[in-house]
């Protein structure tokens, strides 16, 4: 066997090895000796949810740009503290955080990204939100039936304030992100 033939055989083995290792780049699955191509999978995913995913990515980009402009960051400690709080709630329901994440088809990294985004939004918008004692009292009065009859109003104030804050944050976010989108120059290169 000549050097040239040996190089051809080694090249063929190398190419086949790379194709085998990189098979998930081309194929999503094999069904009864027939391939399901990755491109078909991606096309179907885009058709089913591509527009919403793209809009979410655009919103995240706008939020991150605003946070950078305002010099707002979220520390690892803030994220860890929130994860600890979530773990406590999930544990009280008899689950582990990892089990709850698996159920939602998420990873801890996904959760950290969500928390970081949420905390960034809170930091960007919290100065626009005020909550009065009258609002807290009014909320309690209207939603009294949702709380334990033995619970005292004073012990529920922080929880109610948090609920009102989240409602107002959602409302403020909707207006704010619409303003950001209106000011932004967004060029779409795909349509769904």
Domain that holds residue 114: 72-123
Same domain, 3 and 61: yes
pLDDT of 113 above 80:
yes
Establish if 192 belongs to a structural domain. Answer: no
Provide the pLDDT for residue 45.
Answer: 86
Establish if 24 belongs to a structural domain. Answer: yes
pLDDT-derived band of residue 10, with 50, 70 and 90 as boundaries?
confident
Last residue of a domain, one of 23, 52, 69: 69
pLDDT of 124 above 70:
yes
Provide the pLDDT for residue 80.
Answer: 95
Collapse the DSSP code of 35 into the 3-class scheme (helix H, G, I; strand E, B; otherwise coil) and give the result. strand
Establish if 172 belongs to a structural domain. Answer: yes
Provide the pLDDT for residue 184.
Answer: 94
Provide the pLDDT for residue 78.
Answer: 96
The chain-wide mean pLDDT, for the chain, equals 88
Same domain, 2 and 62: yes
Same domain, 89 and 101: yes
Long-range contacts (CB closer than 8 Å, 24 or more residues apart) made by 100-109: 108/83
Establish if 96 belongs to a structural domain. Answer: yes
Same domain, 113 and 147: no
Start-to-end C-alpha separation, the chain: 56
Same domain, 55 and 95: no
Percent of the chain's residues with pLDDT above 90:
48
Establish if 149 belongs to a structural domain. Answer: yes
Same domain, 181 and 168: yes
Report the alpha-carbon distance of residue 105 to residue 100 in Å, rounded: 9
Tokens describing residue 29: 């699955």
Provide the pLDDT for residue 143.
Answer: 83
Beta carbons of 164 and 136 less than 8 angstroms apart: yes
Provide the pLDDT for residue 34.
Answer: 87
Give me the DSSP letters along 83-119: HHHHHHHHHHTT--HHHHHHHTT--HHHHHHHHHHHH
Q: What average pLDDT does the segment 158-167 reach?
A: 91
Beta carbons of 36 and 28 less than 8 angstroms apart: yes
Q: How far is CA 79 from CA 43, 102, 166, in A?
A: 34, 19, 18
Same domain, 13 and 59: yes
pLDDT-derived band of residue 22, with 50, 70 and 90 as boundaries?
low
What domain count does the chain have? 3
Provide the pLDDT for residue 130.
Answer: 93
pLDDT of 79 above 90:
yes
Tokens describing residue 26: 């081309």
Same domain, 62 and 104: no
Residue pointed to by tokens 């709080």: 85
Maximum separation of any 2 CA atoms in the chain, in Å: 91
Establish if 22 belongs to a structural domain. Answer: yes
Kindly tell me the sign of the dihedral angle through the C-alpha atoms of 67, 192, 50, 168.
Answer: positive
Same domain, 140 and 104: no
Last residue of a domain, one of 123, 144, 163: 123
Provide the pLDDT for residue 85.
Answer: 92
């Amino acid at each position: 066997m000549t050097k040239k033939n040996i190089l051809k055989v080694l090249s063929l083995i190398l190419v086949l090895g790379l194709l085998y290792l990189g098979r998930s780049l081309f194929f999503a699955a094999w069904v009864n000796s027939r391939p399901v191509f990755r491109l078909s999978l991606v096309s179907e995913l885009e058709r089913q949810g591509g527009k919403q995913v793209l809009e979410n990515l655009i919103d995240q980009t706008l939020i991150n740009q605003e946070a950078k402009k305002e010099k707002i960051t979220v520390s690892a400690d803030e994220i860890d503290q929130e994860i600890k709080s979530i773990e406590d709630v999930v544990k009280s329901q008899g689950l582990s955080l990892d089990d709850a994440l698996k159920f939602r088809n998420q990873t801890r990294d996904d959760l950290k990204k969500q928390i970081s985004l949420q905390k960034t939004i809170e930091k960007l918008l919290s100065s626009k939100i005020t909550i009065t004692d009258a609002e807290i009292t009014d909320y309690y009065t209207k939603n009294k039936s949702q709380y334990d009859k033995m619970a005292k109003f004073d012990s529920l104030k922080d929880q109610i304030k948090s609920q009102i804050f989240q409602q107002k944050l959602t409302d403020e976010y909707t207006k704010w992100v619409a303003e950001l989108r209106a000011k932004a120059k967004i060029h779409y290169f795909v349509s769904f």
